[in-house]
A and B are shown apart, each in its own frame.
Chain A
Amino acid sequence: MHVHRFERLWFGASLVLIVAFIGTIIYGAVGPGIAMVDDSGGTVEPSVIADGEYEQADNFREPGVYDTEDGVDVYVVARQYFFQPGTSEPIRVPAGEEISFHVTSPDVTHGFNLAGTNVNTMVIPGQVAEFSVTFEETGEHGIVCHEYCGDGHHTMEGQVVVVEQSEFEGGEN
């Protein structure tokens, strides 16, 4: 089959480009350790969360911020149309420490995005989204539910407040 010289060149250059893309992404994924959401959070029956029977789940605790010896754990329930915690009171976490978030939903699919950052996950009933974030600086981040979840969807928001380690109250462990 006759392939024009320019076509060959283009074909080759395209392949190089593609392989380079894959390379950088894999490097980005395993190299600097950008946290990605996977299946590590485990599953939980949505009805367990809906009924507030958190003690029945071994991978999800009563919503709140927990200071444990392994770091800070934050358990968030996203539901129509608020984050608990997050909406009625902000999620307070310390700067410079690894924070593990665990987010799930008792009703429909929601989103959990700190606006303008790559802290971004879907919140799917039955699944616990688990991911770790280290906030280097103190300050406030708005949480947006970025998946349509019903006709009050646009009211679903919350806040993460990053404070100095010394100001961090901890919470239960």
Chain B
Amino acid sequence: MATEHGSETGFETEQEFVETEDGTRRRLAFVDRFPEAARTARICLWIAFAAFGVGALFGLIQALHRTNTLRIISSADYYTILTGHGVLLALVFTTFGIAGLFHWANTRSLGVSPTSRRLTQGWLWTMSIGTLLAAGTIVAGLFDWIPASADVLYTFYAPLEAHPLFYVGAALLIVGSWGAGLDWFLQYREWRSHNPDARIPLQSFMVMTTMLMWYLSSAGVAIEVVFFLIPWSLGLISQVDPLLTRTLFWYFGHPVVYFWLLPAYVVWYTVLPKLSGGRLFSDPLARVTFVLFLLLSTPVGFHHQYTDPGIASGYKLVAMTNTMFLLLPSLLTLFTVVASMEHGARQQGSTGRLAWLKDLPWERPEFSGIALAGIMFAAGGFSGMINAGMNINYLIHNTLWVPGHFHLTVGTAYALTLMAIAYWLVPQLTGKRLQFRGLAAVQPFVWFVGMVLMSNAMHRGGLAGIPRRTAEPQYDMVSFDAVVGTVGEMRLQIAIGGTLLFVGAVMFLAVMFGTWALGKPNSRLRVNGTIPEPLSGPEESPRVLDNLKLWTAIAIMLVLLAYGIPLYDMVADGLLSPGSVPFPE
């Protein structure tokens, strides 16, 4: 049980024997202790991986099409594929991957099973049906004989209109994720009833702060979709205000990137130190980081609208300032990650100023994947600071720079971390030993090299003014002058990089499929889920850190400050005006 260790944390409590010498197999992996929760987490991950596979294929098609390397679709269909890529990867792969990871993390750290089977089934089905509806309407756009389409990209800016079922699907995906959050809060309440005075176990603390941030921010897109886009696409209201709906989208659109990132942070804080052979530096600092994200993730959305008309500069300036402060928790994380890895290497006997770097277990994919994801994230953070600069942003807004940036963040920091942790976690969720370990060991490096090629070229292409989201980035009246390199060389790197990334995705899926199909249940797993206690534990931190109600209240206040007046401005001239009818009409 969670607290039998006598420590207040409930953190270092599991005794998971992966194997016994005499072959009696008294194994206590996660799947043995919590079979039901393991099953739920597994289903979430399989759906996430399926979305990832299709999304990666679409990504390959895009990378080859826009560089004019290989064209198997028409340029008009490019946008259908791109919508599929954005939705399947940025919304489905992420949300299901996070649900699987959090379901494991919350259950593991609390040591309590989810409390209601019906609730779990409910959110799983809601999210799944939502995904099927959204993906179905998108793919229908490829077939002329199906009278539905959703060629609106994953940002679905009105007045571009999708089939109503697309919006219903998106809404269900989000509402389902709220149910998942509820499941985890109820688990916590159950744990709390047995542990009235204990500090919240760290992973559960992280899950809950992330979900609070998610409730606060996804309310924006839920309002956009349920109150405006669904009635509008059904013809119940004739027009919507494009700026208002767009603002509601971006109210959600920045925090959503933290929703993608924080699960990676959970892994970096709680599992990476162990995988590097050591333990987390500081539990309190990890809590501070997550609280800062809860407070600051939402009142920043206007930084995606720096170039939007209709929004006063003052509001943009407030968002910019908040955004810069939001750098703080990420910089703190950078410190912890590097320090924990160094500590781990030194625990294993490594010496020297930098020699410890090469003593880390690079041959193990669960480690190398996370470490490479962290390196890419540092680069992505740097290009993100440029995005956040209100005036420099004008140079790169909506150019290829932007996908160059977020393939480092969500496309690698999140995606590669999830793949890496899957190498470690899936055996514990299935009871099957990882198959094709050799393939797994090179996979993170393939992804890394592919991303270095694709992303650097995208960044430079953006500086040359090449737009994102276009099937034909060559124009009669426009010439793109590369600041560094040549446009032709960038195209080549994007094509090769995209191909390598696709190969990396296939390798990952092959390992997962092989493990599922060939692994024997009850095998010796070669990994264990024990997480060592941090160097300084939560006892040393003020209790107020665990006061989630307080932090939520402050977060809401900050949101009201940043959004109250701007939203009032937008609705003062009528909720639906200036208004647009749907296109295509």
**A interface, CB within 8 angstroms of B:** 1-4, 6-7, 10-11, 14-15, 17-18, 21-22, 25-26, 28-29, 34, 36-39, 41, 43-47, 80, 90, 107-109, 111, 113-130, 142-155, 157-159
Q: Is the CB of B282 within 8 A of A7?
A: yes
1/0 per residue B547-585: CB within 8 Å of A?
Answer: 000000000000000000000010001000111110110
A4 vs B332: C-alpha distance in the bound complex, in angstroms?
12
Residue contacts A-B, CB under 8 angstroms, 17 given: A3-B284, A4-B281, A7-B285, A22-B321, A28-B389, A28-B390, A29-B317, A36-B313, A36-B390, A37-B307, A39-B311, A108-B160, A120-B394, A125-B242, A126-B310, A148-B153, A150-B583
CB < 8 Å neighbour of B306 from A6, A14, A36, A143:
A36
Contact present for A157 and B398 (CB under 8 Å): no
Bound complex: CA A6 to CA B535 (Å): 15
- The residues of A that contact B390 with a CB separation of less than 8 Å are 25, 28-29, 36
Given known contacts A37-B308, A38-B309, A121-B309, A18 and B324 CB-to-CB distance under 8 angstroms: yes
Mark interface residues in B440-481 (1 if CB within 8 Å of A CB, else 0). Answer: 000000000000000000000001111111111101111111
- For the residues of B in contact with A, the DSSP-based class is loop
Q: A39-B311, A41-B309, A128-B309 are in contact. Are A154 and B471 (CB under 8 A)?
A: yes
Distance in Å: Cβ of A147 to nearest Cβ of chain B: 6
Q: Kindly identify, within residues 518 to 537 of chain B, every residue whose CB is under 8 Å from any CB belonging to chain A.
A: 536
A120 touching B321, Cβ below 8 Å: no
Top 8 closest A-B pairs, CB basis? A142-B478, A126-B578, A115-B465, A116-B465, A118-B394, A129-B309, A151-B76, A154-B472
Tell me the B463-511 residues at the A interface (CB within 8 Å): 463-473, 475-481
- B83: shortest Cβ distance to chain A, in Å? 9
CA A25 to CA B387, docked complex, whole Å: 12
Inside 8 A of B540's CB, which chain A residues have their CB?
A: 1-2
Size of the B side of the interface (Cβ < 8 Å), in residues, is: 80
Q: Is the CB of B313 within 8 A of A146?
A: no
Chain A nearest Cβ from B82, distance in angstroms: 8
User: B583 to chain A: which residues have CB within 8 Å?
Assistant: 80, 107-108, 150
Closest A residue to B545 by beta carbon equals A1
On chain A, the residues within 8 Å of B578 by CB distance are: 43-46, 125-127
Partner of A22, one of B320, B331, B467: B320
Give the contacting residue for B332; candidates A10, A28, A127; CB below 8 A.
A10
In the complex, B19 has a CB within 8 A of chain A: no
Closest Cβ–Cβ distance, residue A102 to chain B (whole Å):
10
- Set of chain B residues within 8 Å of A114, measured between Cβ atoms: 465
Known: A7-B335, A14-B332, A142-B475. 17 other contacts (CB 8 A): A3-B282, A15-B328, A22-B324, A25-B320, A29-B390, A38-B309, A38-B313, A39-B312, A39-B569, A45-B577, A108-B159, A124-B309, A125-B578, A127-B310, A154-B78, A157-B477, A159-B478
A12 to B35, CA, bound (A): 46
Contacts of A119 in B (CB 8 A): 394
Residues of A within 8 A of B108 (CB): none
Tell whether, in the assembled complex, residue B395 and residue A159 are in contact, meaning their CB atoms are under 8 Å apart: no
B397 touches A120 (CB 8 A): yes
Q: A21–B309 contact, CB under 8 A? A: no
Which partner residue on chain A sits nearest B463 by CB separation?
A116
Point out which of B243, B481, B541 has the most chain A C-beta atoms below 10 A from its C-beta.
B243
Asked whether, in the complex, the Cβ of A109 is within 8 Å of the Cβ of B467, the reply is: no
Rounded to whole Å, the gap between the CB of A34 and the closest CB of chain B is 5
Residue of B nearest to A123 (CB): B309
User: Who on chain A is nearest to B473 by CB?
Assistant: A154
**B116 within 8 Å of A by Cβ?**
no
Residue of A nearest to B314 (CB): A38
Name the A residues within 8 Å of B196 (CB-CB). none
What is the interface of chain B, defined by CB distance below 8 A to chain A? 75-76, 78-79, 82, 151, 153, 157, 159-160, 241-243, 246, 281-282, 284-285, 305-313, 316-317, 320-321, 324-325, 327-328, 331-332, 335, 339, 385, 389-392, 394-395, 397-399, 463-473, 475-481, 536, 540-542, 569, 573, 577-581, 583-584
Closest residue of A by beta carbon distance from B582: A108
Interface contact A142-B398, CB-CB below 8 Å: no
For residue A113, which residues in chain B have a CB less than 8 angstroms away from its CB?
Answer: 397-399, 465, 467
- A145 proximity list for chain B (CB < 8 A): 467
Closest residue of chain B to A36, judged by CB? B313
- Cβ contact of A39, chosen from B309, B394, B536, cutoff 8 A: B309
A146 near B469: Cβ-Cβ < 8 Å: yes
A121 CA to B542 CA in the complex, in Å? 47
Q: Which of A2, A4, A126, A157 is close to B478, meaning CB atoms less than 8 Å apart?
A: A157
CB-based contact B324/A148 at 8 Å: no
Q: How far is the CB of B140 from chain A (nearest CB, A)?
A: 15
Within the complex, the shortest CB–CB distance from A39 to chain B, in Å, comes to 5
A99 to B78, CA, bound (A): 36
**For A1, what are the chain B residues with a Cβ–Cβ distance below 8 Å?**
284, 540-542
CA distance A150 to B477 in the complex (A): 20
**Contacting residues, chain A, for B160 (C-beta < 8 A):** 108-109, 148-150
Given A113-B398, A148-B79, is A125 in contact with B159 using a C-beta cutoff of 8 Å? Answer: yes
Query: A126 to B243, Cβ gap below 8 A?
Result: yes
Which one of A45, A117, A122, A127 contacts B465 once the chains associate, using CB atoms below 8 Å? A117
- Given A37-B307, A44-B578, A45-B578, does the pair A147, B398 have CB atoms closer than 8 Å? yes
Alpha-carbon distance A154/B581, docked complex (angstroms): 23
A46 to B465, Cβ gap below 8 A? Answer: no
Bound complex: CA A18 to CA B331 (Å)? 10
Task: Decide: B469 and A153 in contact? CB cutoff 8 A.
Answer: yes
Contact indicator A124/B282 (Cβ below 8 Å): no
Which of chain B's residues have a CB closer than 8 A to the CB of A149? 160
User: Contacts A37-B308, A127-B578 given: A25-B159 contact, CB under 8 Å?
Assistant: no
Q: A126, B335: Cβ atoms under 8 Å?
A: no
A25 to B82, CA, bound (A): 34
- CB nearest to B330 among chain A residues: A14
Instruction: Give A38 to B566 CA distance when docked, in angstroms.
Output: 12
- CA distance in complex: A26, B390 (Å): 9
- Nearest residue in B to A151 (C-beta to C-beta)? B76
Contact of A115 among B151, B391, B468, B480 (CB under 8 A): B480
Contact assessment for B481 and A126 in the assembled complex, using a CB-CB cutoff below 8 Å = no
Contact B312 A38 (CB under 8 A): yes
**A126 B584 Cβ-Cβ under 8 A:** no
